[in-house]
Amino acid sequence: MSFFIACDIDHTLLSDSGELLSQNVEALHRAISQGATVVLATARSYAGAKPIHDALKLETPIVVSNGTLVCEPDGLVLKAYAIDPHIAEILVNLYTETPHHWSFRTSERAYIHPSFETKNSPFADQKHYLPTERERLEDATKGYSSLITASLFGQGMRPFFDRHSWESMNLVADFYPPSHYTHLETMSTMCQKASKGNAVDWLRNYLGLANAPTLCLGDSVADATMFSLGIGVAPANASDIVRAQAHWVAPHCDEGSVAAALERFVFQGVSTQ
């Protein structure tokens, strides 16, 4: 079997409560034992994705931060999509003027608001999350040239998100409600060239699997950018717009959506045609 499988983590591989379901793990291991290549593609940072990658005993590179970075399992960066430095400076000024907690990520680490709550994983890992004063951000991001994502964490952020024309700045912006990962609302911005779809496509070519049958699974708009690479599967808990772009809608993530998709398309070989 030469299947290439790209899978989102939160609300796809994991349940809504953040549990790594045994049926999903067993299905992925069965696919790997039959020759499939499995990669994770997530909005999480490298530090946030690594525990899940380790739990699955994967040895493949990881697509993190919504496709802005492709990393080896040890964190070595293989591919990065940086924001234009001029736009990056605008973002830093815009975000740091809000009452919310910010995070500015480079390929090496995230520089976070000094008052950001860092007791919980992965934010407590100062190798990857470094509390930083506003006046140090220009140096930390090498004159804003190394910024790959800019994020905000807080409450009542939707008006701020809706008020700005991110597309006119050549940015892709995503808004996330509170989840098991954080109790705060979250928004992130990245350059338009960056997407899970582009990063997974690059990684598939890098691994020499450009012609392999491909299965991509995820619940978000960012995940839907992968669907054109092969068979796109959304769990039932995905939004209407994501389900509409999928070739098949799997059961809810609480019910083993990944296992169901692998059973249908990888083990049974059902075609979408």
CATH number for 85-191 (one of 3.50.50.60, 3.30.70.60, 3.30.1240.10, 1.10.3720.10): it is 3.30.1240.10
How far apart CA 38 and CA 63 sit, in angstroms, is: 11
Phi, psi at residue 235, to the nearest 5°?
-70, 160
Which residues, 6 or more positions from 22, have their beta carbon under 8 angstroms from its beta carbon?
A: none
Q: How confident is the model at residue 108 (pLDDT cuts 50, 70, 90)?
A: confident
Q: What angle do CA 193, 185, 100 make, to 5 degrees?
A: 90
pLDDT in tens, 18-54: 999 999 999 999 999 999 999 999 999 898 899 999 9
Buried b (16+ CB within 10 A) or exposed e, 147-159: bbbbbbbbeebee
pLDDT in tens, 69-95: 999 999 999 999 999 999 999 999 999
| One-letter amino acid of 219 | D
Q: How confident is the model at residue 110 (pLDDT cuts 50, 70, 90)?
A: confident
Does the 4-80+194-267 domain belong in CATH 3.40.50.1000?
yes
| One-letter amino acid of 17 | S
- Average pLDDT score over residue span 165-181: 88
pLDDT for 183 equals 83
How far apart CA 20 and CA 23 sit, in angstroms, is: 9
How far apart CA 207 and CA 134 sit, in angstroms, is: 40
pLDDT in tens, 187-231: 999 999 999 999 999 999 999 999 999 999 999 999 999 999 999
Residue ranges per structural domain of the chain: 4-80+194-267, 85-191
For the chain, percent of residues with pLDDT exceeding 70 = 94
pLDDT for 125 equals 62
pLDDT in tens, 112-164: 998 877 666 566 666 678 899 999 999 999 999 999 999 999 999 999 999 99
Q: Which of 161, 158, 106, 155 is nearest to 132 (CA)?
A: 106
